[in-house]
Amino acid sequence: MDNVLYLNSTGSTNNDAYNLAVKGAVHGFGVLSDTQSAGKGRLGKNWVSPAGTGLYCSIVIRPNLSFTEFPKLTLTAGLALCTAVQSFLPDINFGLKWPNDLYCLRHKCGGILVESSTPNCPDEESFVVVGIGINVNTQLDEFPLELQQKVTSLHILSGEIYNIKDLYQKIRASLLEHVYIHENRGFEKILHEWRKRDVLFEKEMQWVTHDKEVITARGMGPDENGHLLAIDSDGKIHEILSGDVQQATNGEQ
């Protein structure tokens, strides 16, 4: 494989890719590991990374974009992931839960952690690390009991066993293609495609504010800044910049 560091095990591929990017790793350089002992999820969570069943990779991106565009790349990366997995499993419908979780049938099968170089980094040295975790060949009983109602894997969805390196190559190619589209045709083009895959669009959803208030509102999709919009029963529009949103439970699963 070109431009990839393949590891049997590591702490976190995001940390590895970040350190290599600081030392000059090129656009598209990736780190792929069989397992991680300290996999990182969004919002400070852990990403449990058992050997042999999941895809754990991090890809260095050096976008030809201003630093203010970088936060939008999180949606670009989600669309790239969803498009790649969709073409790998064409008979199954995948969606995106803001900002960039990969979903199928209301179950999470993958997630992305994007980390950027520091804002004071000179433009020509700036980079983004796109870390991707996917449940690929995992069986349901291999997930912790408390997660089994919420997650799925490509294997559970299709019954097939997948080659993780092939899937990695597909995702890398899709990521580079979508970053190119973002750079050359603008974020609007990404947003247009993203909205078609939005699993929360027009769904009742809930989130907890910084003041610990639980808000319920109907999803309106991300805006041109990549922030999520939602309208509550009083007609007030909320703009969600970060954090975690959940589809409100209504008995169906």
Stretch that binds ligand BTN, among 41-49, 185-193, 217-225, 228-236 (CB under 6 A): 41-49
Stretch that binds ligand BTN, among 33-41, 65-73, 185-193, 233-241 (CB under 6 A): 33-41
- Residue 55: CB minimum distance to ligand BTN, A: 8
Beta bridge partners of 222: 228
Cβ-count burial 80-119 (b if 16+ within 10 Å, e if not): bbbbbbbebbeeeebbbbbbbbbbbeebebbbbbbbbbee
- Residue 53: CB minimum distance to ligand BTN, A: 12
Considering only residues 105 to 144 of the shown chain, the ones binding ligand BTN according to CB under 6 A are 111-113, 131-133
Residue 81 binds ligand BTN (CB under 6 A): no
Task: List the one residue from 47, 88, 162, 187 that touches ligand BTN (CB under 6 A).
Answer: 47
Number of alpha carbons in the 13 Å side-chain half-sphere of residue 107: 19
CB-nearer residue toward ligand BTN: 133 or 219? 133
Residue 13 binds ligand BTN (CB under 6 A): yes
The answer to whether the CB of 92 falls within 8 A of the CB of 136 is no
Residue 58 binds ligand BTN (CB under 6 A): yes
Task: List the one residue from 28, 41, 50, 71 that touches ligand BTN (CB under 6 A).
Answer: 41
- Residue 130: CB minimum distance to ligand BTN, A: 9
Question: CA of 92: how far to CAs of 82, 95, 202, in Å?
Answer: 11, 10, 22
- Residue 235: CB minimum distance to ligand BTN, A: 32
With CB under 6 A as the rule, give the number of residues binding ligand BTN.
Answer: 20
